[in-house]
Amino acid sequence: MTTTAPEPSRTAPLRIAIAGLGTVGAGVIRLLDTNAQLIAMRAGRPIEVVAVSARDRGKDRGVDIARFAWEDDMTALARRDDVDVVVELVGGSDGPALALSRASLGAGKGLVTANKAMIAHHGLELAKLAEAANAALKFEAAVGGGIPVIKGLREGTSANALTKVYGILNGTCNYILSTMERTGADFADVLAEAQRLGFAEADPAFDIEGVDAAHKLAILAAIGFGTQVDFANVRVSGITEVRSADIAQAAALGFVIRLIGEADVEDTPEGPRLLQRVRPCLVARGHPLSAVEGATNAVVAEGNFSGRLLFQGAGAGDGPTASAVAADLIDIARDEVGAPFSIPGDHLSALPPAEPGHRPARTYIRFMVKDRPGVLAELTAALRDGDVSIESLIQQGRSQSGGEVMVAMVTHEGPERCVTQALALLEGSDSLMAKPLVLPILPL
């Protein structure tokens, strides 16, 4: 006689364990407490926290954790028989978060995570583990905080071939850029405020150097284009070189500066190629992304039948991120699972990276140069030799004593590689006092 484990009753609670009780973890507990009744109604059963783990048991988080079992070793959560789903809110691409995630899926438990770094690096492996164990792996909070953008792409646009996905994917950078633009405040002060508000990563270099946005872009591209997550081939530049003077100059020209992630698949004679890049761009006032302020994120997806879709909302912070985590839990409670990347891991394709040099672009170029005769001629000669046509050129004031001046230009549309070639001609020039800043102008 064979016996099988009894099917859990649909009214039995979904029993969860939470690892990580920082901004997001405490937010999830607060949300599950506050909205317990409506969540039980919508999920078809209660969602009940059984056990938790973090670094410091005694820390005051503004939520009562004494009612939950405590594990010093977070991977012990994956071994508990009284847990159906593990929620990983620790962070870090490897280390304990990855060990816990592998152990949870390996034990056949569902996994909900907000950890974009881990999904960007190990998403395919974890998806295959989940699929093999017939367990859920969900990560709505990992991209766009509270915006249901993973759901939007996995479900809402699932009948479309996507042509492009792009947008503002990092709340901290957007908070810094839009606050500097509005108030003229200093970069370091605004970053400190974003940290205080709980938007920034544990190491904020991930935010300001564009890496966090690149993690999120790699995840969106995988879902949108049915490709394996390919973080290693995202071309990344962050916002650390952007100065207040660039923001002011952009404003005078009718633009704002935003950190934009963009991905598309290009058909080439050698086959399809995946372009993924994150970089600060000039965005014309009037473009929907120019009005995105503070820690808000916005993602544009273009489908061949849906047309252009815009997903917008709070991209960081405890409440919005907790909202996305809880929505994933509700899906699991309802048994709505499916392949983590929309199509099974074994069928995700591996596309080589695209080379975008031939693509047409208008570009803002800012030089910091020595204030001396002949400098402008040197710059314009290099641009001429690189086949770059200048649309407008502004020299900002004069220094007192032959010091540093700013020269900003906007180019006419031309192949991207021309700007790169022109700037290569200036490399090593003692007229340049800093590396030129190149900001593409986002097409409408």
Ligand X SMILES: N[C@@H](CC=O)C(=O)O
Ligand Y SMILES: NC(=O)C1=CN([C@@H]2O[C@H](COP(=O)(O)OP(=O)(O)OC[C@H]3O[C@@H](n4cnc5c(N)ncnc54)[C@H](O)[C@@H]3O)[C@@H](O)[C@H]2O)C=CC1
Query: What amino acid positions are annotated as catalytic residues?
Result: 216
Q: Does 178 bind ligand X (CB under 6 A)?
A: no
Residue 19 assigned to a binding site: yes
Residue 18 binds ligand Y (CB under 6 A): no
- Work out whether 220 is an interface residue with ligand Y (CB under 6 A): no
Buried-state track 394-429, b at ≥16 Cβ within 10 A, e below 16: eeeeeeeeeeebbbbbbbeebbbbbbebbbebbeee
311 binds ligand X (CB under 6 A): no
d(CA 96, CA 315): 25
Asked if 239 and 170 count as a contact pair (C-beta separation under 8 A), the reply is: no
Residue type, position 99, single letter? A
Known binder of ligand: residue 363?
A: no
Residue of the chain from 14, 32, 39, 141 that contacts ligand Y (CB under 6 A): 141
**201 labeled part of a ligand binding site:** yes
**Residue 326, CA distances (Å) to 89, 239, 375 in order:** 12, 32, 58
Please, what is the minimum distance in Å from the beta carbon of residue 176 to ligand X?
A: 10
Which partner from the list ligand Y, Na ion, ligand X, none does 111 bind, CB cut-off 5 to 8 Å by kind?
A: none
Residue 316 sits in the site that holds ligand X (CB under 6 A): yes
What residue type is assigned to position 14 of the chain?
Answer: L
Q: Distance between CA 172 and CA 324 in Å, rounded? A: 18
Look up residue 436 and give its two tokens. 């030129």
Smallest separation, CB 20 to ligand Y (Å)? 3
Is there a contact between 357 and 275 (Cβ–Cβ < 8 Å)? no
Dmax (CA) of the chain? 95
Among 104, 170, 179, 249, binds ligand X (CB under 6 A): 170
Separation of alpha carbons 329 and 202, rounded Å: 25
Q: What is the DSSP letter of 305?
A: T
Is 212 among the residues that bind ligand X (CB under 6 A)? yes
140 contact choice in ligand X, Na ion, ligand Y, none (CB below 5 to 8 Å, kind-dependent): Na ion
Decide whether 296 or 411 has the Cβ nearer to ligand X.
296
Question: Any contact of residue 261 with ligand Y (CB under 6 A)?
Answer: no
Annotated binding site for NADP(+): 19-26
Q: What residues make contact with ligand Y under the rule CB under 6 A?
A: 20-25, 54-55, 74, 89-91, 96, 114-116, 141, 145, 198-199, 201-202, 316-317, 321
Q: What residues make contact with ligand X under the rule CB under 6 A?
A: 145, 170-172, 199-201, 207, 212, 315-316
Annotated binding site for NADPH: 116
